[in-house]
């Protein structure tokens, strides 16, 4: 239960901040950081239990009849992510409090950040696939809000939309994969699925499931060719980039790949797909990163590259691959968040983040520079940082264990060396270009002089993270026991105990590290050679082209259908509904019948006759007001019929609705242009006759088909019998509406509210235009 409260605490905090934030203003950041810190402490208290091999469970049934329940599952893997999300969150919210200017909308920013934190916690903790999907899409949504935080900028809007479209489409593919997964196994519960790997791998759906679920991972974790959204996402304020787009959200894809590891890994398809895409991403991201001039773009591509490395390690499907992937994921999140925070400080103090305009800032920014130096050395993979160990483990994993990618045993180690050499090159380029070397233009360039060191609240979080990546390296025993071990065991679903150490003796890893270093130095010195342009259209062009095509199709459709002629709209709507109702009825297999027949009583017959006369008369009226009133009369007469047939609820509803719609109708009429009677053209008369005749036929046939169902299928008896004992109500109609079929009603009233928003927008916007 406490797990559920912890998961939803961020949402409550976000709501509170959005509602009351106007009072807190600039202090909103403290509220957010406090929430994150409390959650971090809470999750840290789980550590001893989980490190001892235990798991946490919590469950709230949601729609038990459908097997959907809000169930949470906490093992080493989810616990690590929960600690990452809340721990880095605490530091970044504190940083954000001082990063955002006085004039910015602090409450909105931190409410969105908390919304994201809650969604991310939900995604990594949920045990039900549907719940996981919902939280997964919520992270995309909150990322959209945060990238578009400065929504008055064109580039922010473009970046936000791109990130949302790419990740949400991947999320939909993942949902399809989940549905197939549950069809194959009959369960939605992850904890239950984890033990069923063999059953799933043997199932004919397996390849489709794998590809669909991997699409979700790949879009979220910016794997090639879906990496295109990440650089555009850098339009977000830097704390967002540090939090969502380096440490947490982009790692969600890796989380999912790790989570489904026991279900889907261990086949050639898994190794080729996950390993191959990851390896390609590692190299493409590295090449693109070295070429960048904008520091945030450099970091974005470097993140792409590192995410690819971890993905490739998970793709190996071996124990050592899991351990190396888990540890590298950890070290990368920490040093990359630190680097982002450093870049944020540099931009904050110098108002630029172009490498070509920066240099020699170490003297002016000593604290920031030290943090940057530590984080960059970690990123470069040098000892004694944690990333050195994780990289050694990665070399070890690629050399041993796997049978090799695409049948070539040397391919993976070679790719690893090349990718890591690029990592080395851009890390050194970043820290050297900004803090050391000479300032371009001899100091008289674009920089304000003198540049001041930022407040400790800004460099403090960056320094803490940089020290963290150092600690990951010099305390390998503790890190292995408390973090990497439980996490790797959670991924593999069996106890794994990695022996982490800085020095493993002479072996392949050390040789490959040496080769990496040599190649890295070479690449760093000659990085300008990499500035070539590829003249081919890339995935970016594909994205823009697809978007333009969708716009064109949408415009063509609405031009055709929405001519501005109301009669045409009505004709299209009625025609479509009629066709949708008639086609399945006439397709065969439907039994029509009259349940019972009896002679009409005199007052029933009179009412029906009046209805028919009034309906026919409407057609021949030339006055619109008279026609509408007559239409109302038809409605009231139907109400009378309901009274005769002993249906008081229906009659009441019918008569009231008729009254309100009559009033609305008359009001609408007042807004319309004056009525010009048209020439009754033959073609139009035939079309209208066909439409109205078809609609009438559809209604009658639907009624007859309803009556044609056998009596056993009817659930009316159940409702009548259970209304009072189960729901405590004597009015069965009302009980059905608000209790038995409450979900339906909830859907209907939501549609009503959405429809109202549409009318509101139409009328108020129309007035403004």
Partner 1 sequence: MRRPTTILATTVAQLILPFLLLFSLELLLAGHNRPGGGFIAGVMLVAAIALQYVVFGIAPVRRRLPRGSLGLTATGLALALGSGIPGLLRGEGFLKSWVIHWSLPLLGEVEWATAFLFDLGIFLLVAGVGLTLLALIGEDRP
Contacts with partner 1, residue ranges (CB under 8 A):
60-65, 70, 648-649, 652-653, 656-657, 659-660, 663-664, 666-668, 670-671, 727-731, 733-735, 737-739, 742-743, 745-746, 749-750, 752-753, 755-756, 759-760, 763-764, 766-767
CB of 134 to partner 1, least distance (A): 13
Task: Report the residue number, 65 or 536, with the smaller CB distance to partner 1.
Answer: 65
How far apart are alpha carbons 645 and 647 in whole angstroms? 6
- Per DSSP, the three-state class of 249 is helix
How far apart are alpha carbons 93 and 103 in whole angstroms? 17
CB of 761 to partner 1, least distance (A): 10
CB of 744 to partner 1, least distance (A): 10
- Per DSSP, the three-state class of 762 is helix
- Any bridge partners for residue 128, and if so which? 189
CB of 676 to partner 1, least distance (A): 18
CB of 6 to partner 1, least distance (A): 16
| Nearest one of 438, 253, 433, 456 to 341, comparing CA atoms | 456
How far apart are alpha carbons 727 and 719 in whole angstroms? 10
CB of 67 to partner 1, least distance (A): 11
User: Residue 58 phi/psi, 5° resolution?
Assistant: -155, 145
What's the burial of 112, exposed, middle or buried (CB within 10 Å: 0-12/13-18/19+)? buried
How far apart are alpha carbons 333 and 346 in whole angstroms? 20
Task: Report the residue number, 657 or 690, with the smaller CB distance to partner 1.
Answer: 657
Task: Report the residue number, 590 or 733, with the smaller CB distance to partner 1.
Answer: 733
Task: Report the residue number, 656 or 685, with the smaller CB distance to partner 1.
Answer: 656
Task: Report the residue number, 354 or 741, with the smaller CB distance to partner 1.
Answer: 741
Q: How many helices (H) and strands (E) does the chain have?
A: 34, 2
Q: How far is CA 765 from CA 532, 668, 762, in A?
A: 48, 17, 5
Task: Report the residue number, 442 or 725, with the smaller CB distance to partner 1.
Answer: 725
CB 32 within 8 A of CB 113: yes
CB of 648 to partner 1, least distance (A): 4
- Per DSSP, the three-state class of 9 is helix
| Nearest one of 386, 399, 418 to 509, comparing CA atoms | 399
Q: Per this entry, what is the length of the chain?
A: 769
Task: Report the residue number, 623 or 764, with the smaller CB distance to partner 1.
Answer: 764
How far apart are alpha carbons 50 and 83 in whole angstroms? 13
Task: Report the residue number, 51 or 666, with the smaller CB distance to partner 1.
Answer: 666
- Per DSSP, the three-state class of 544 is helix
CB of 2 to partner 1, least distance (A): 14
How distant is the alpha carbon of residue 590 from its chain centre? 42
CB of 739 to partner 1, least distance (A): 5
In the numeric block, which tokens belong to residue 221?
């974790």
CB of 385 to partner 1, least distance (A): 46
Task: Report the residue number, 15 or 37, with the smaller CB distance to partner 1.
Answer: 15
Task: Report the residue number, 93 or 740, with the smaller CB distance to partner 1.
Answer: 740
Q: How far is CA 555 from CA 159, 558, 562, in A?
A: 23, 5, 10
């Amino acid at each position: 239960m406490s797990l559920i409260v912890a998961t939803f605490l961020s949402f409550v905090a976000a709501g509170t901040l959005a509602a009351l934030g106007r009072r807190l203003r600039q202090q909103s950041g403290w509220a957010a950081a406090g929430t994150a810190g409390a959650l971090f402490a809470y999750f840290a208290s789980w550590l001893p239990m989980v490190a001892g091999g235990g798991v946490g469970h919590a469950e709230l049934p949601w729609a038990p009849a459908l097997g959907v329940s809000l169930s949470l599952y906490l093992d080493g893997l989810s616990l690590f992510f929960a600690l990452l999300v809340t721990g880095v969150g605490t530091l970044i919210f504190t940083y954000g409090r001082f990063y955002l200017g006085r004039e910015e909308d602090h409450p909105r920013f931190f409410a969105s950040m908390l919304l994201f934190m809650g969604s991310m916690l939900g995604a990594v903790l949920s045990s039900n696939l549907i719940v996981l999907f919902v939280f997964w899409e919520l992270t995309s949504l909150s990322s959209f809000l945060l990238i578009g935080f400065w929504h008055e900028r064109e580039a922010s809007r473009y970046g936000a939309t791109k990130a949302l479209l790419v990740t949400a489409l991947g999320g939909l593919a993942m949902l399809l994969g989940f549905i197939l997964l549950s069809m194959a196994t009959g369960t939605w519960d992850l904890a239950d699925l984890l033990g069923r790997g063999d059953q799933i791998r043997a199932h004919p759906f397996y390849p489709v499931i794998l590809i669909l679920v991997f699409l979700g991972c790949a879009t979220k974790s910016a794997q090639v060719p879906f990496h295109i959204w990440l650089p555009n996402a850098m339009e977000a304020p830097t704390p967002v980039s540090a939090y969502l787009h380096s440490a947490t959200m982009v790692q969600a894809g890796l989380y999912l790949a790790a989570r489904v590891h026991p279900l889907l890994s261990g086949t050639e398809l898994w190794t080729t797909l996950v390993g191959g895409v990851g390896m390609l991403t590692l190299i493409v991201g590295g090449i693109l990163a070295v070429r960048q001039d904008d520091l945030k773009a450099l970091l974005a591509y470097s993140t792409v590259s590192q995410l690819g490395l971890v993905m490739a390690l998970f793709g190996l499907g071996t124990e050592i691959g899991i351990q190396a992937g888990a540890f590298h994921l950890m070290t990368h999140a920490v040093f990359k968040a630190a680097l982002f925070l450093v870049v944020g400080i540099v931009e904050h103090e110098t108002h630029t983040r172009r490498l070509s305009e920066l240099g020699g800032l170490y003297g002016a920014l000593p604290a920031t520079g030290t943090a940057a130096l530590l984080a960059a050395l970690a990123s470069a993979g040098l000892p004694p940082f944690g990333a050195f160990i994780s990289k050694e483990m990665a070399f070890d994993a690629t050399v041993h264990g796997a049978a090799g990618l695409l049948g070539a045993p040397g391919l993976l180690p070679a790719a690893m060396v090349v990718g890591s050499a690029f990592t080395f090159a851009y890390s050194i380029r970043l820290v050297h270009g900004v803090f050391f070397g000479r300032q371009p233009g001899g100091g008289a360039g674009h920089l304000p002089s003198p540049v001041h060191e930022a407040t400790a609240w800004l460099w403090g979080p960056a320094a803490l993270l940089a020290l963290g990546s150092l600690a990951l390296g010099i305390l390998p025993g503790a890190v292995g026991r408390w973090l990497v071990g439980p996490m790797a065991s959670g991924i593999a679903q069996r106890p794994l105990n990695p022996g982490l150490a800085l020095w493993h003796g002479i072996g392949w890893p050390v040789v490959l590290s040496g080769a990496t270093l040599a190649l890295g130095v070479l690449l760093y010195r000659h990085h300008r050679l990499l500035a070539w342009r590829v003249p081919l259209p890339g995935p970016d062009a594909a994205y823009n082209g697809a978007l333009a095509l969708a716009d064109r199709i949408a415009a063509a459709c609405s031009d055709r259908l929405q001519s501005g002629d109301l009669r045409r709209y009505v004709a299209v709507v009625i025609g479509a509904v009629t066709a949708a109702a008639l086609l399945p009825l006439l397709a065969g297999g439907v039994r029509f019948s009259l349940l019972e027949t009896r002679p009409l009583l005199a007052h029933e017959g009179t009412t029906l006759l009046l209805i028919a006369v009034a309906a026919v008369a409407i057609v021949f009226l030339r006055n619109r007001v008279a026609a509408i009133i007559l239409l109302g009369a038809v409605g009231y007469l139907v109400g009378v019929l309901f009274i005769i047939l002993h249906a008081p609820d229906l009659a009441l509803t019918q008569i009231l609705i008729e009254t309100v719609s009559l009033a609305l109708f008359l009001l609408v009429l007042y807004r319309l242009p004056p009525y010009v009677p048209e020439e009754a053209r033959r073609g139009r008369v035939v079309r209208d006759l066909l439409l109205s005749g078809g609609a009438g036929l559809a209604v009658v046939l639907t009624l007859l088909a309803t009556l044609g169902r056998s009596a056993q299928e009817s659930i009316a008896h159940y409702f009548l019998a259970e209304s009072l004992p189960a729901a405590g109500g004597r009015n069965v109609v009302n009980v059905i509406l608000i209790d038995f079929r409450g979900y339906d009603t909830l859907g209907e009233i939501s549609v009503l509210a959405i429809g109202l928003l549409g009318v509101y927008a139409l009328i108020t916007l129309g007035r403004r235009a």
